Amino acid sequence: MPKVTVKDWIEMFRELGLNEAQMHQWHRLFENRHPQGHEEFLEWLGLSAQKIEEIRTQSR
C-alpha cells in the first residue's frame, strides 16, 4: 500500500476548505497540544530533520 504523502495531506486539507493560514493553525494546535506526536507525525510523512525542525519552530 502506498504511503500517504505531504502532498496528499495538503490536498485533503484544501478539499476541506482550509487555506494556508488554517493549515498553519492546525500545526500550531498539534505542536502545542501534542509536541511529541506532532514530531512523530512529521517523521512518518518522511520529512527531513531540518524540515521537521523548521515546521515545529514556526508552530510554537
pLDDT tens per residue across span 1-60: 568 999 999 999 999 999 999 999 999 999 999 999 999 999 999 999 999 999 999 999
Cell of 11: 490536498
> For residues 60 and 39, what is the distance between their CA atoms, to the nearest angstrom?
12
Domain edges within the chain: 6-59
pTM score over 0.75: yes
